[in-house]
Amino acid sequence: MSNINIIIEERPADIGHFLVGRLLPFRDKRMVGPFIFIDHMGPAKLSDHENIDIGPHPHIGLSTLTYLFDGAILHKDTLGTEVEITPGQVNWMTAGKGIVHSERTPLHLRHSDKTLHGLQIWVALPQDLAEMEPTFYHAAADEIPAWETDGVAYKLIAGAAFGRQSPVPVYSPLFFLEIKSPTTQTIRIGDELVGEAGLYILEGSIESEGFTYEPKRILVAKNSQLCEFVIHANSTVYVFGGEPFPEGRHIYWNFVATSLERIEQAKQDWRNQNFPILAGETDVIPLPPDLSNLKQKP
C-alpha cells in the first residue's frame, strides 16, 4: 500500500485455552477508523477432546464481527439468538447499552477432530448510538456482495465501497473488503475508500514502494485515498477502515466507551450481575483485573 504509516505485527494473546494473534489495539495505533479490536484466530487444529468454550461474557459500546475461513462457532446471546456461523457468513452483534453472549464449538463437532480459523473484530459505535438497544444480524454467505475485476475477486463483507453496500447493518461510514488474486496484479482502490485504511495480509504477500510484506501484519496508510499496492499471485488480503470518530475511546476487557465513568459502571454492573442473564449457561466469565495495556485515553 502506498504511503504506509505504520506496520502492526500479530502478537500472541491467550483468550482462555486458545491462542490468537492480536492486531488491534496497538500501542501506536489504537483504532483504524471505527475498528478498535482485531484478533486473528488460528489456524488451529483441535482434537476430538478439544473445543472452544468461551462462556457468557458482556459487551457495551461496540459491534462484534465474526468472519470464519474454516470451522464453525455456535453463538448464543441474551436476545435469544442461537446460530452457528460457518465460513463465508457474517455474525454482527451490536452490544449498545449491554449484551451477554457465549461462543462454543457446535455440538456436532465436539467429539471429532476439527479446525478453526477466522477473524474476530470489534467496531466502536458512534457516541450517540453507544447506548442503543442491542441487536444481532446474521448474513448468509450468498448475501455478501462479491464480484471480479480483471481476474481479482472482491467481497464486501461490511460497509460500502465500489458503489455497493453490504447487508450488514453498520452505524458509521466504514468498509471491510476481501481481495483475492490468483495472479500478480496492481490494485488501486483509494478512490473507493473513506477515512482511514488498514490492510491485513492473510496469505501470500503484497509489494509496496519496493518492499514486500508477508502475512500476519497490518499496514496502515497515511492517506487512504492513495491506497495502491501489488498483490502477488495466490494472495488474500483484507482492507478495512472508515471515518474516525472525533472523540477517543476507552477500552477495558469487553467494554468500549467514551468515558471512564461508563467503563466503571459496566464493571460494577457485571460484578453485581446487573447484565441480562444468558439462559442455560453457567460458566460465566468473571471480570478480570485491570488490563492497563488495553486502556485508551480520548
Q: Can you tell me which residue has the cell 509489494?
A: 207
Backbone phi, then psi, for 118, in 5-degree steps? 175, -170
Residue 108 among known ligand-binding residues: no
What whole-number distance in Å separates Cα of residue 236 and Cα of residue 205?
A: 8
What whole-number distance in Å separates Cα of residue 168 and Cα of residue 94?
A: 11
Residue 49 among known ligand-binding residues: no
Residue 111 among known ligand-binding residues: no
Q: Which residues are annotated as a binding site?
A: 57, 59, 101, 103
Q: Which residues are annotated as a binding site for Fe cation?
A: 57, 59, 101, 103
